[in-house]
Amino acid sequence: MIIVIANGTSRSVFDINLLKNHITYGCNELYKEYSPTHLVCKDGPLIWDICRDGYTKENNCYFKMFDRFPAMQYEMLKLTFPSSGKVLETQPQTNEFVMFGTGSTMVIYWTTPNEPTQKLEWWGDGDNDSYTSETAAIRLACLNHPQDKIYCIGYDYYLNRTADNIILSSKNIPDEEYDTTELFRQHKRIEEEFDNNIYHIGKHMNYVQFENLLNK
């Protein structure tokens, strides 16, 4: 089965380790509690945390930003940074690096030769075409498995109802964190783009039914 995992509270009723024999797509900080088959992330500082933790070296990660530069450009890029700024970087230096900018701090992550991390070129930058980590994970699953059913767990903002005795509502999500109107628009766009059957646990079935389906 193909399962996409967001970080909503609804999945607290479910043992995520039951997914270990399935193909999974996870978002953001999920890797700290469970290692999905594919990890998707949009936020720059969080991408840096994932890289710094060494997770990208041996795991399939897909980021909005992960442009690789040859080592020969390292000194030149440092010269463009304000002298009052701070530079953080991993060690050892290798043949390629990725640069992140966070205000007055420049972060340099030196990649390894066989690192499987990729930048998703189709992520988008405008208000109408830029995905969140959660919706990008769904689209990536659809692209990679066009003939399969896609099961989504933890997408509480999309459900806006009660599931498994946990109240799920987009009203619980701060406006500054998510534009729920745009999120619904992204979901609709993905569903229109693909012929997949996309099932949200908590909307199309509950977690007990989903667990029974896993065990078949």
Quick check: is 153 in a domain? yes
Please report which confidence band the pLDDT of residue 159 belongs to, taking 50, 70 and 90 as the band edges: low
Residue 64: per-residue pLDDT: 92
Let me know if residue 119 belongs to a domain: no
Whether 169 is covered by a domain: the verdict is yes
- The predicted structure's pLDDT at residue 155: 84
Asked whether residue 65 is domain-assigned, the answer is no
pTM listed for this prediction = 0.85
**124 assigned to some structural domain:** no
Average confidence (pLDDT) over 55-81: 90
Residue pair 199/3 in contact by the 8 Å Cβ criterion: no
Q: Is the pLDDT of residue 162 over 50?
A: no
In a domain, 25, yes or no: yes
Min mean pLDDT across 36-40, 74-78, 111-115, 161-165 is at 161-165
Instruction: Give yes or no for a contact between 143 and 2, defined as CB atoms under 8 angstroms apart.
Output: no
Whether residue 24 has pLDDT greater than 70: yes
Q: Does residue 190 register a pLDDT over 60?
A: yes
Continuous segment of H or E residues that includes residue 2: strand 2-5
Task: Let me know if residue 17 belongs to a domain.
Answer: yes
Taking residues 53-73, what's their average pLDDT?
A: 93
100 vs 139, more confident? 139
| Rounded Cα gap, residues 106 and 78, in angstroms | 9
pLDDT in tens, 101-132: 766 788 899 998 889 999 999 987 655 567 88
- Say if 174 falls within a structural domain: yes
CB neighbour class for 82 (10 Å; exposed up to 12, middle 13-18, buried from 19): exposed
pLDDT at residue 151, rounded to an integer: 95
Residue 43 has pLDDT above 60, yes or no: yes
Q: How many domains does the chain have?
A: 1
Give the residue numbers spanning the domain of 181: 2-42+131-214
Paired sense of beta strands 60-63 and 38-41, if any: parallel
Four-CA torsion 205, 208, 210, 211, nearest 10 degrees: 180
